[in-house]
Amino acid sequence: MGNEGTRTWIADLGNGRYRNPILYTDYSDPDVIRVGEDYYMVASSFCNAPSVPLLHSKDLVNWKVINYCVDQVPGDRYRTPQHGCGAWAPAIRFHEGVYYVFIPMPDEGIFEVHTTDPYGEWSAPHFLYEGKGWIDPCPFWDEDGKAYMVNAFAKSRIGFKSILQIVEMTPDCQSLIGEGKYVFDGNVNDQETIEGPKLYKRNGYYYIMAPAGGVKTGWQTVLRSKNIWGPYEAKNVLYQGDTPVNGPHQGGWIDTPYGEDWFIHFQDVYAAGRIIHLQPMRWVNDWPIIGEYVEGRDYGTPVLEYDKPKVSKEDRFYPIEAPDASDEFDGVTLGLQWQWNANDCKEWYTMDPEGSSVILHCVPAKPEESISDAPNLLLQKWVLPEFTAETKMTLDQLQPNDFVGMVSMGMTYGAVGVRKSAKGLELVKVLGSQHFSNEKSHPEDTDEVVATLPNLSEIYFRNTVKSLEPKEEFVPREEISFSVSTDGEHYTDLLSFESQAGRWVGVKNGVFAIHEQGDTQDPAGNTAVDYFRIF
């Protein structure tokens, strides 16, 4: 289980320098902390489960997923996919021996989880605030022992945006105290769509670091005040400039034990999602400048290559690591790269006791339902701008109306698979797209039988992502294609379409096993997935 023999994105250049992005993976809305010499990062996960990935690094460049903060997205409706809803931009902080993660759900409220061991079990989700529209929370403990939360607002849920609020809370993060106060209005300060605030204190100043101007076209803003309640003055400290790094959006400041300051943020690259960049940061007259520093200029621009953060007083070298991508399914659990399309059930899969596959049980679904709304799609994020994913699946345990195969899930989605029907084994392709109204996905797709297959016991699928020539500057395009093989050597192309990002999220790919159940309660079968390899 891991990256042995697989292609994946490596940002560490091996010579004491790194390239951006540090992760070519959709870890949307990142936040980061340092505890001693260890760095931890969390990211959004929306309706996917397990929820809120937790990554660890020793040098801010090489990262591994080590855990998830939440097993199940709170709420019964997340038993089915709620595309674009669920766990939005989280924040992570460490206070008096406890790790806290604040997670907003735009329709439900803000909940927190905590632990003393980030590798272990996290507390059950506790709602600190219940209600619509509060998003992007970040906790903060002041020197006098008082605790606060800063947050933004989602116009789609509450009717307004571009305003930042601070509210006092109990130091244990269990309840809010009194009413919140709006401390900054971006609508009247040339900071439209300011959001994603992170609250810090340095040299007697309170700082709120927050992106503004929009995900794909904005910049990084920093607010500063001697009083936590304001008034705050604003300065823009990171612009795209003439670089290809559009937006540079939401993230967090981190210092190192060796006197360096850094800023992690995301860049929206459309179908691949929100990939992660690392920028150097310096302080000038108690204002940060993020990115490339030019003498006399009070803002920075993104770096594409730079010296790595120090891991000792003199050394910038650390062993290269990357999040897992390929999976041989040879462990006792699924790899941490995997998430389900909705809250999962333990009955959906079994790890082969011989350690050679994962057995997906065909989960009942209505025949007329879109595959995009199947909760038991087993998915992972893209890890490269171009790649091929290959999988091998068994067919001999399928029952009538079982449908198993490979899927690519975005706003435009596709799948290829084998359905067992009265006619035998049918090779099927699916192509569809989602449109949204009232924050609800309405998918439309076509399901076409390509061929009738002989009595096979196994089949191979490939999903390839290939870059296309951009039509607009800085707007990547990709072709997504599927092919099939009966022997693992000779592949036949079945389906291709242009990529399109999902609702706030990048495209994910993976495998599925569903049972298209009608009025009868006929039994469902299963398929053994031998491997999922990226090359």
Task: DSSP for 400-411, please give it.
Answer: TTEEEEEEEESS
The whole-angstrom separation of Cα 94 and Cα 92 is: 7
Pairing type for strands 363-365 and 508-516 reads parallel
Measured between alpha carbons, how far is 263 from 254 in angstroms, rounded to an integer? Answer: 6
Residue 366 or 38, more confident: 38
Domains, the chain: 17-307 (2.115.10.20), 339-534 (2.60.120.200)
Active site residues: 29, 195
Residue 140's nearest CA partner among 197, 225, 204 is 197
Query: What mean pLDDT do residues 92-100 have?
Result: 98
pLDDT (tens digit per residue) in 321-342: 999 999 999 999 999 999 999 9
Mean pLDDT of 422-436: 95
Reduced to 3 states, what is the DSSP secondary structure of residue 372? helix
Tell me: pLDDT of 41 over 60: yes
Q: 223 with 210: CB under 8 angstroms?
A: yes
Q: Which of 131-135, 289-293, 351-355, 381-385 has the lowest mean pLDDT?
A: 351-355
pLDDT value, residue 474: 79
**What pLDDT, on the 0 to 100 scale, is given for residue 4?**
46
Task: Place 3 in a pLDDT band, splitting at 50, 70 and 90.
Answer: very low
**C-alpha span between 288 and 196 (Å, rounded):** 17
Give Dmax (Cα) for the chain.
75
Q: For residues 70 and 88, what is the distance between their CA atoms, to the nearest angstrom? A: 13
Counting Cα atoms < 13 Å in the Cβ hemisphere of 296 gives 0
**In the predicted structure, residue 314 carries a pLDDT above the cut 80:** no
Torsion sign across C-alpha atoms 200, 202, 206, 207: negative
Contact (CB, 8 A) for 290 and 298: no
* pLDDT (tens digit per residue) in 450-488: 999 999 999 999 999 999 999 888 789 999 999 999 999
Per-residue b/e over 302-329, b at no fewer than 16 CB within 10 Å? bbeebebbbbeeeebebeebbbbbbbbb
Q: What is the CA radius of gyration of the chain?
A: 23
478: which 2 tokens?
A: 């990709």
pLDDT digits (tens, 9 = 90+) for 11-27: 999 999 999 999 999 99
Average pLDDT over residues 403-413: 97
Helices (H) and strands (E) in the chain, counts: 1, 37
Question: Rounded to an integer, what distance in angstroms lies between the CA atom of residue 281 and that of residue 302?
Answer: 10
Q: What is the mean pLDDT of residues 137-158?
A: 98
Average pLDDT of the chain? 95
Q: Torsions phi, psi of 188, nearest 5?
A: -115, 10
Per-residue tokens: 364: 């009942």
